[in-house]
Chain A
Amino acid sequence: MSKEAVFMQGNQAMAEAAIRGGCKMFFGYPITPSSEVPEYYAQVMVERPEENIVYIQAETECSAFNMIAGAAAAGHRAMTATAGPGFSLGQEAMSYMSAAGLPGVVVQIMRPGPADGEILPAQGDYFQITRGGGHGDYYTLALAPWSIQELVEIMQESFVLAEKYNNPVVVVSDAMLAKLRESVVLPDYTDNEAAPEEKHNTLTGAKGRKRHLITTCGFGAVQWNQFNNDLQKKYAEIAANEKRYESYFMDEDPDIVVVAFGAYSRVCLSGVKMAREAGLKVGMIRPISLWPFPDNAFEGLDGKQFLVCELNAGQMVQDVKLSVKNKDDVHFFGMLGGIVPTPKEICAEIQKVEVK
């Protein structure tokens, strides 16, 4: 494989990365701004038969997510890509896969809600993604890249993480990252195969081994309490291992710390740079793992002013407040409906923050 950069759309580059990462099964339902992903899979199925792609256009997202559960239980990598309304329909299966320990991967390409909403960039599904959007006590690992390069790398890694923890993983994109075209070095093919038949959650027929059983039905309160405690151990392990973030200008002891994630954080970083040129001492923290939230990035930052910038009404700001001691110094700048502020507007917001 050549290591030369190609100029590619986010959705398409992501689909190619997934295929090269061994995800040959895609189940999806068309929804803007995700539809190039199923289209890409459908095209590869026809044009590159050597890839052995299984592409099914499901009747609903509800079905697509359950198809992933079935394929994952059969030991194969499988994914879907959707947007808010479809992600909502899939929550029953997200709760199920999390409890059943099935390593499905879902790309959530956020657009503004609630309800049908709009088809522009937004981050209003942060709560649903990070709090376990369905019923019961569960979490899904959620990773939010800010560039197409990071997107393709996270796309491939998400399968490894899903299989490592036997838990669904959400790749968090949005209409900006999905439709953006930029230079990207596509990752190579990985040499993974179907999960070994001996793996406890692989159902391929009991050949020379004990049967494998996956059930999420409780057998009484004592058993179900234990089942849930085991799930919590899994989440604690993920939380201990997978907190990810990047910092910018944080080694220069800034007075103000901007916090932003996803493609929007690139706009925010431009705003930070403008503010620095204007003489303000500003840094930025970019959470990459939305769950587990990288609260460790905020250690030792007591006394600083924080400006959380999101394309929603204020969701990640709650996690920032949980991560710092001086909660009154956490400020919020939000934008709704699909409007993305300019670096200049972000710079103006930074300038409004009063440094004590």
Chain B
Amino acid sequence: MKVVYEAPKINTGVPTTYCGGCGHGIINRLIAEIIDEMELKEKAVLLWPIGCSCVNVNTMDIDQLCCLHGRGPASGTGMKRANPDNLVIVYQGDGDMVSEGMAEIMHAAIRGEKFTVIFVNNAIYGMTGAQMAPTTLLGQNASTAPGGRLVVNSGYPVKMAEILAELPGTVYSERVTVNTPANIIKAKKAIKKAFELQMKGEGMTFVEVLSMCPTGWSMSPVKACEWVDSTMTEIFPLGVVKDETEGLKQQEEAAK
């Protein structure tokens, strides 16, 4: 019998603690599938943030470091600079990266740190209970923005994929989502490309993943998937924001 679908090899079988309809599980699975496909288990180190994802460290059979809130890009800097041959994956949420750790991610990108950042943007604080994130949309309800986010209090949602693309240290920046099977395939392609670029020793590779948080958004899982398309992508458009791969290819050609 032909196997058409199975759990990734580095999956330990430990169930996740994610809520029904959450995007994290899909993104975790994509990372695991790609590490399998690229045969990088022996080189991979995954740096977790503080947030819903950090209690799922037992789901993957690879080396992992659970970092302090927001400090993943700093610890990733120390780790990647110490062992440049490793695949260092810095996994961050919106509160972790854009609030607590804005300095760390900006300066890691400014220095062109050669690791991959997977930025899970669900526009809300999941773990602590639906508080407002820096990426919460204007008017979006949050427990700390009852009635919706107001510009006068909180300014505007932050577009990380675009901000980091402005920095020369970032070689690749793309925004994807995991709300439909087609989008999941695109997300996998983006993450795989980021890993490939990292293993070639290029600069920072950044993939922002718009992710569903039905619990935090007070929506059904199906409605949450629809909301990504109908509302979230208006502020956070999908697609490649920056790709210097072509330039790199030209450099390689010139070197030959």
Contacts and interface: CB of A to CB of B under 8 A. Distances in A.
A59 B79 contact: no
B68 A206 contact: no
A169 interface: no
A267 interface: no
B82 A63 contact: no
Interface in B201-232: none
B102 to A, nearest CB: 10
A54 B65 contact: no
A212 B41 CA distance: 12
What 8 A-B pairs have minimum CB-CB distances, sorted nearest first? A70-B78, A70-B75, A71-B78, A66-B74, A74-B82, A215-B66, A67-B78, A70-B79
Interface stretch (B55-63, B132-140, B144-152, B167-175): B55-63
Contacts of B107: 58-59, 63
A71 B82 contact: yes
Contacts of A96: 68
B63 A206 contact: yes
A70 B104 contact: no
A70 B76 contact: yes
A213 B104 contact: no
Given A92-B68, A205-B44, A216-B66, A73 B74 contact: no
B83 interface: yes
Contacts of B63: 203-206, 211-213
Contacts of A72: 78
B66 A25 contact: no
Contacts of A27: 77-78
A205 B86 contact: yes
A70 B54 contact: no
A213 B81 contact: no
Interface in A186-213: 194, 203-208, 211-213
Interface in A57-82: 58-60, 62-64, 66-76, 78
Given A206-B41, A206-B62, A93 B77 contact: no
A55 B75 CA distance: 14
Interface string A211-241: 1111111010000000000000000000000
Contacts of B68: 66, 69, 92-93, 96
A204 B41 CA distance: 10
A100 B79 CA distance: 15
Nearest to B40: A205
Contacts of A93: 68, 71
A25 B75 CA distance: 13
A135 B191 CA distance: 36
